[in-house]
Structure 1
Amino acid sequence: MRSPIPDYLAEVLGSVESDETGAPADYIPELATANPNRLAAAMATLDGEVYAVGDCSDEFTIQSISKPFVYALALADRGFEPVLAKVGVEPSGEAFNKVSLDGGGRPLNPMINAGAIATHSLAGPAGIDAKGRFDRIVDGLSAFAGRRLQVDEAVFASEMDTAFRNTSIAYLLRAYDVLDEDPTAVVGGYTRQCSLLVTTVDLALMAATLANRGIQPVTGERVVSEAVVRQVLSVMTTCGMYDSAGDWVTQVGIPAKSGVAGGLIGALPGQVGIATFSPRLDRHGNSVRGIRLFERFSDDTGMHMMDVPSSSTTVIRKDRRIADDLRLYVIQGGLRFAEAEHVVRRVSYGAPKERRIAIDLSHVHAIDDVARRMILEVIRRLSLDGHEVFLVDPEQVIPNPDPGTGGSVTVVTTVGDID
């Protein structure tokens, strides 16, 4: 059977194809010559399946879409405190190329040019030279994409010929000691970073790596940590669409980042990475047709991050005595705080009388760290109350369970293994 997803993507692309509002970026001569009619969309799942339609194999420069990924590299390389000391996380409410600094001269966030220039200087270990830093950035962004990326030298030269505002921003950052090296060299490296060539498929996989907690879906490589991903997605949510971020969050609700070559990415945590490409831009510097595509995706598929499923109240599949001294709790589904709280409440308020308690996780398909700790605390308290506790966990949903001080548990594969 043919998958309906490519047909859906093609239908949505067709619905925006006639929209000729906006125009390619004209302040960079090389981008001004782009074919305004090119159009593509791609979705990448967390297990590496890619659905792509339109001009999805055409290369274009990544531009500002590089910002969240280089921010991720800086956080990974230098740590959170050194990066936050140089670049804030507050929405600027201004255009991407404005000089938006706080009272101490720190850029307001890493998604505007001032913050991205500072972030570029923080990629790689302290003391690295400009070439080593750029090599680190290319290696890092290539790891996100799953293939080696190259620079478009023509676009780089064109951007450098008109990089007056960025150069002036960099000198201002140097005056505030946000930069501690030659501003011109930093702007050169930042501009090369923005000139890396990508396809719509590349961007979908890069976004999917963020959605997949930092693990590249195709290669399986962990590119950055989960803590870094959470920070990056948070900043993308509030700052990624510049001075239209509020409209974006309310109408689309997907952490996103745009680029002036016409690319647009969205990373929906735990679900999918999405990318679109259309060079016609609005006054904010965002792709006109790209925004319309994302609005359709959000509306049609329920991808708005505030449209979350309600907590399951049927997390406990069974609660019954199966022998004179053995009570069985069968838990099912995915466990987060809310689901684990149902288990805690049932066991706590139920006050089981049986000496032996079995907690069966064989129908649990996922459990986060909070839920894991809650289940282990239930086991610990049951142990302290004098119960003998068995954990039925054939898939090792909770590997190496340790209830903590005073608690004990016996792990078995099936309920039948309990003597």
Structure 2
Amino acid sequence: MAELVQRYLDEILAEHRDSTEGRLADYIPELATVDPSGFAVSLQLTDGFVYESGDTATEFTIQSISKPFTYALALERAGFDAVDARIGVEPTGEAFNEISVDHRTKAPKNAMINAGAIAAASLMPGSTPQARFECILDFYSACAGRTLEVDEDVYRSEKATGSRNRAIAYMLQSFGMLDGDPDEALDVYTRQCAIRVTSTDLARMASTLARGGRNPQSGQRVLSGAVVQRTLAVMMTCGMYDATGNWVSSVGMPAKSGVGGGLLTVLPGQLGIGVYSPRLDDTGNSVRGAKVCRSLSARLGLHFLSVSRESRSIIRATRDVAAGVRVYELHGDLLFTGAEQALRTVEEDSADIEVVILEVSGVDDSNDVARSMLAGMRESLRRAGKEGCLVDPDRTVLTAGSASDAVVYSTVEEALAAVLDRRGR
């Protein structure tokens, strides 16, 4: 039944595939040569399960999506006080590469703009620029669950055209916000931006943040919960540059974009999303990437203000009530990730059962996508020669008169009796 979620991703990608708005980041010569048609979306749940659609094997450079991760690593290694003395947490209302600092503190206003990111890179432990960069690379790889590498061509291209960033680095040094050689700090930052990733790498890095700093696949804890909380807060308020306000109101998830065409989105406690499409809007965000995330948020009900209790939406218990008949008791708010979890569990168990009864009397609320997924579960079971029904006495999940009304019962006993009668037992 994972095909139900897969279908959502495929449909959303197809809906936006023909969009040609935006342009490549041609101010970095190497980025101007990429295929503008590349398009991919990956979604990873916090239990490690991944959905993919489109060009998910295509590698691109992480660019500014690196910023929240280096900021988080600086908080983890140097401590909050040391980082807060050098980098603020306020939105700027300015371009990401603006040559500016807070007029009072002389510190970069946040870590999501270039000035803050260069300052964060300078706080990495290590006696040499190479050692500091390797610390970053190892951390990114731990978040992604695989060994990542640098695109040397993009690195050289960015280094050759990075005059504005060089000006920012020397400005920071002049204000006492950068220790050591500004060129060394800038080199570390430029290399981190040139690390190659895929949309699935981004989804895995995002889900590591969604799970409070623990990689869902490896189980390795890479960040503390306090660091993740701070990082996500800054991403929510500053991650999409001048478009952040619109993003928070319409998408409602912490996110970070990169001029390489990537877009990373986090729904805390639930999932991470990685999107790739290299055409950018005037603020430097992926045009199709933003459209995909808006569609995912709207259709799957992912806005953070809609899912505050979603973590309680789980399978409370299962029990076999007859040969080949299993009851799954659900409780909490049944939204997208809760419905996905329930249906994937049913799919994993389906070899051992003939009839699925979902008992949803403990569900407090549900939304359209969850209802659609439960209806899709019945169709998937039917195609496999099996049967599925709901016990929903208060019609919390499926309202009276709906298409699936005939398979909704008031009690488990009523559902079981009807099933056994149909099967002639």
**TM-score normalised by length of structure 2:** 0.72
Contact 2:207 2:273 in 1 (8 A): yes
SS in structure 2 of the partner of residue 52 of structure 1 = strand
* Correspondences of 1:184-223 after superposition (within 5 Å): 184-223=183-222
Shift, 1:6, TM fit: 1.4
2:115 aligns to what? 114
Contact 2:99 2:164 in 1 (8 A): no
1:20 paired with 2:20, answer yes
Contact 2:99 2:167 in 1 (8 A): no
Which digits, 9 at most, give the CA deviation of each residue in 1:144-198, with x for residues without a partner? 0000010000000000110000000000000011111111111111000000000
SS in structure 2 of the partner of residue 267 of structure 1 = strand
Contact 1:134 1:189 in 2 (8 A): yes
Aligned length: 317
2:63 aligns to what? 63
* Correspondences of 1:345-356 after superposition (within 5 Å): none
SS in structure 2 of the partner of residue 264 of structure 1 = strand
Contact 1:104 1:176 in 2 (8 A): no
Letter in 1 for 2:194: S
The whole-number CA distance in structure 2 between the counterparts of 1:221 and 1:57 is 24
Identity %: 52
Letter in 1 for 2:61: T
Which digits, 9 at most, give the CA deviation of each residue in 1:19-43, with x for residues without a partner? 1010110100000111110000000
1:242 aligns to what? 241
2:105 aligns to what? 104
Letter in 2 for 1:294: C
SS in structure 1 of the partner of residue 264 of structure 2 = strand
2:73 aligns to what? 73
Contact 1:61 1:197 in 2 (8 A): yes
Shift, 1:129, TM fit: 2.3
1:176 aligns to what? 175
The whole-number CA distance in structure 1 between the counterparts of 2:309 and 2:221 is 30
Contact 1:200 1:277 in 2 (8 A): yes
The whole-number CA distance in structure 2 between the counterparts of 1:200 and 1:285 is 18
1:155 aligns to what? 154
Letter in 1 for 2:83: V
Shift, 1:307, TM fit: 1.1
SS in structure 1 of the partner of residue 85 of structure 2 = helix
Shift, 1:100, TM fit: 3.0
Larger Rg: 1
Contact 1:216 1:222 in 2 (8 A): yes
The whole-number CA distance in structure 1 between the counterparts of 2:2 and 2:256 is 31
Which residues of structure 2 form unaligned runs of 5+?
312-329, 334-361, 363-425
Letter in 2 for 1:228: V
Letter in 1 for 2:135: R
Contact 2:143 2:204 in 1 (8 A): yes
Shift, 1:7, TM fit: 1.6
* CA distance 1:309–1:220, change in 2 (3 Å): closer
Shift, 1:308, TM fit: 3.0
Question: Does 95-104 or 159-168 show the bigger shift?
Answer: 95-104
Which digits, 9 at most, give the CA deviation of each residue in 1:285-320, with x for residues without a partner? 0000000000001100111111135699xxxxxxxx
Contact 2:280 2:287 in 1 (8 A): yes
1:264 paired with 2:263, answer yes
The whole-number CA distance in structure 2 between the counterparts of 1:193 and 1:176 is 24
1:141 aligns to what? 140
SS in structure 1 of the partner of residue 256 of structure 2 = strand
The whole-number CA distance in structure 1 between the counterparts of 2:241 and 2:168 is 17
Letter in 2 for 1:79: G
Which digits, 9 at most, give the CA deviation of each residue in 1:335-389, with x for residues without a partner? 9xxxxxxxxxxxxxxxxxxxxxxxxxxxx9xxxxxxxxxxxxxxxxxxxxxxxxx
1:30 paired with 2:48, answer no
The whole-number CA distance in structure 2 between the counterparts of 1:2 and 1:292 is 23
The whole-number CA distance in structure 2 between the counterparts of 1:112 and 1:160 is 18
Letter in 2 for 1:182: D
Contact 1:92 1:100 in 2 (8 A): no
1:273 paired with 2:272, answer yes
2:4 aligns to what? 4
The whole-number CA distance in structure 2 between the counterparts of 1:195 and 1:145 is 15
SS in structure 2 of the partner of residue 243 of structure 1 = helix
Contact 2:38 2:276 in 1 (8 A): yes
**TM-score normalised by length of structure 1:** 0.73
1:384 aligns to what? none
1:46 paired with 2:63, answer no
The whole-number CA distance in structure 1 between the counterparts of 2:310 and 2:137 is 41
1:87 aligns to what? 87
1:167 paired with 2:185, answer no
Letter in 1 for 2:295: R
* Correspondences of 1:230-379 after superposition (within 5 Å): 230-308=229-307
Which residues of structure 1 form unaligned runs of 5+?
313-331, 336-363, 365-419
The whole-number CA distance in structure 1 between the counterparts of 2:179 and 2:197 is 31
